[in-house]
Chain A
């Protein structure tokens, strides 16, 4: 047997030796265009961003003047009150919206899995509508609905005798209002992943639990949730990264206000880059933000591989 294997391996080596060089390296030719595109669109900007992070950048006609200044841009971030506030706000945002979206998405997915197949189709189609809308359009629509004086939400509240709310105009309610919109829209993304996860679960554990006399709540808690763990980790990874980068919704609805009560890290980076033209500092902030997200992503991916 061993001899046969040795002979086959020898045949393989001989075959490779006889293969023309172009055929051996043809694979590189095929992936070259994608690699070139990736280099131009992603790698080069990333390298430039890292370089700018350690520099003072000045615009001159037809050129960028990049003067190295060491770690100054990085140290400045730790004493910048706007960035410290934005970081705390972004962390709260991620924690609240991702948790709420997972709960809402899971509940909808679970209820949907109990429906008749035709009803499922109808509801699924209706539920994914928010998902296909661009965040800026959603923001503009909700901005009109949340208008203090002319919005439909305050009108509906007035019908049941509730005083009008300031929604986006009060620094205590502005961030929660935008969170509500994000939860309304992004929970549907979580729902789709969770729903797919629930439909692909094996039936044996459910049958065993039923024979053992488990209640529906016990089955949900002790069977469904543990089996869905890989899906949870994927959802957490995708939603955390996406939620952390939020800026467009705030830009469309409040410009980060009132004051800076809805300003997130990405929005601050945008302002430093395109209003202050401090590309060096904005790049340093981006690099730090990037590192935090990479650490988070690595943590989640390890969990996925482990599960």
Chain B
């Protein structure tokens, strides 16, 4: 009778024996002679016919000899060429807006340059965090980084210099066809590290308004923020709840700040000055916050918690007549008949400004850079050069509504016919300024944006919000050593 129980040692030994047996059998099997079976298949039989004609013979004596020769059928061999002779294929990884794979732009890049680009799609905040960690730690996770222009002051020192990379291919940088104000965004602090990024998407914030509503009011389009408030009061007073005068983003942080900044600048001051001193609690800052409260009270209900997409929707569904926080992707929706109730009724302008203050549209340009930690600097530069060529920028305008950064495309009659608002964006670009250029901008944006949101939600008074915003910005920047 077999034993019913087993000690642990016996079990281990038995297990070891079985494992050795199985492993040994596998090794022996692997070492055995391998028989390769090939299959030959006769595809066709070649027959050669040779015709000989005797020369200089009378016609009646023409003899025709036909010889049929059998040729042995040979095995057909297929040779697979894995790689074209010449340039080897390079595989790159990039993140941020690079292109839309569905349009086939990456396939075209591959066929023309032998560069395969893996697109790592991430939301805005995740792209920023991912790039911050990878770039600052010298990581090689990405070969191409697509970055929003406010990030540049933080990232320039972690990016490779564009000039020598372009010169290596015999290309000129800066490209004379690109808008200089946009090209300059890639160089921070100006002249310190040299150009570190190439602009790709000429995103400019603009003031959009309903042309039909202005005609009904019998007024010219607004020039100052006071005009905006006056017209909004009339529109909301006469037509709400069907139509409201103005709309603004109320979510804290980036959304509220992006809606507030053109108003603050339109009153003649920025949120921080050149020495990074906070400026919200100033006469102009307080007036700008008062204007925010006025406009919010004339806006559709619920703007306290809206972001970028919701703001666009309020305009293209015909619920709001004006906003100073409109971007090209929203304009495209306003011009799309399937979505929009206001097709052909929207025009864009430079941001309003109070008398004596400059019109200041905000840039939201996206730029390509090559991380210093990348192991493919040359290939990355080549891909960036290819992606920013006029033909490919034009393709991206049609595919993604990414405004170009080239003069030649801003004046392109075909593009202007298809995207009538491009002319307005070009005008806005002429007065566009970037957000405050400091590596601490995200901190300023979070703090001021939170307090502007609190003002919009009536959680804080204008005076308290301005004071708290300035105090918190100063403390946070002091901790960062910004004033030392």
Question: Do residues B457 and A261 form an inter-chain contact, with CB atoms below 8 A?
Answer: yes
A243 → chain B closest CB, angstroms: 22
> How many B residues face the partner with a CB closer than 8 A?
47
B9 engages A259 (CB within 8 Å): no
Confirm or deny: A277 has a beta carbon within 8 angstroms of a beta carbon on chain B.
yes
Q: Are A149 and B459 closer than 8 Å at their CB atoms?
A: no
What is the chain A residue whose CB lies nearest that of B129? A274
- Residue on B nearest A174 in the bound complex, by CB: B305
Whether A59 and B136, one on each chain, are in contact in the complex, defined by CB atoms closer than 8 angstroms, is: yes
Given contacts A261-B457, A261-B459, A275-B442, contact A147 B302 (CB under 8 A): yes
Contact call A150/B305, Cβ cutoff below 8 A: no
Question: With A147-B310, A276-B442 known to touch, is A258 a contact of B301 (CB < 8 Å)?
Answer: no
> How far is A277 from B458 in the complex, measured between Cα atoms in Å?
29
* Residues on B with beta carbons closer than 8 Å to the beta carbon of A150: 313, 317
The answer on a CB contact under 8 Å between B136 and A257 is no
Contact partner of A61 (CB less than 8 A), chosen from B129, B255, B310, B372, is: B372
Q: Does A60 contact B (CB under 8 A)?
A: yes
Closest chain B residue to A20 by CB distance?
B9
Interface residue B394 (Cβ < 8 Å from any Cβ of A): no
Query: Most B CB atoms within 10 A — which of A171, A257, A260, A274?
Result: A257
Q: Is A204 an interface residue (CB 8 A)?
A: no
Chain A residue numbers with a CB within 8 Å of B252 are 255-260
Interface residues of B in 287-308 (CB under 8 A from A): 300-307
- The dominant DSSP class at the B interface is helix
Does A275 lie within 8 Å of B304, measured CB to CB? no
B131-171 vs A, CB cutoff 8 Å, 1 = contact: the mask equals 01000111000000000000000000110000000000000
The A-contacting residues of B in range 445-461, CB under 8 angstroms, are 445-446, 450-451, 453-454, 456-460
Q: Which residue of B lies closest to A56 (CB)?
A: B479
B253 and A171 contact, CB distance less than 8 A = no
Partner of B454, one of A164, A254, A258: A258
- The answer to whether A166 has its CB under 8 Å from any CB of chain B is yes
Complex Cα distance A253/B443, Å? 21
Chain A residue nearest in CB terms to B157:
A61
Q: Which of A19, A62, A149, A254 has the most CB of B within 10 A?
A: A149
Q: Which of A254, A275, A278 has the most CB of B within 10 A?
A: A275
Let me know if B263 is at the binding interface, CB within 8 A: no
A63 to B456, CA, bound (A): 41
CB distance from B23 to the nearest CB of A (A): 18
Q: How far, in whole Å, are A258 and B252 apart by their CA atoms in the complex?
A: 6
Is A258 touching B158 in the complex (CB atoms < 8 A)? no
10 tightest Cβ-Cβ pairs between the two chains A and B: A148-B302, A259-B454, A258-B457, A62-B138, A257-B252, A259-B459, A169-B304, A59-B136, A169-B305, A169-B302
Provide a sorted-by-A list of 8 A–B residue pairs whose CB atoms are within 8 angstroms. A60-B136, A62-B373, A149-B302, A149-B314, A169-B250, A170-B304, A259-B450, A276-B446
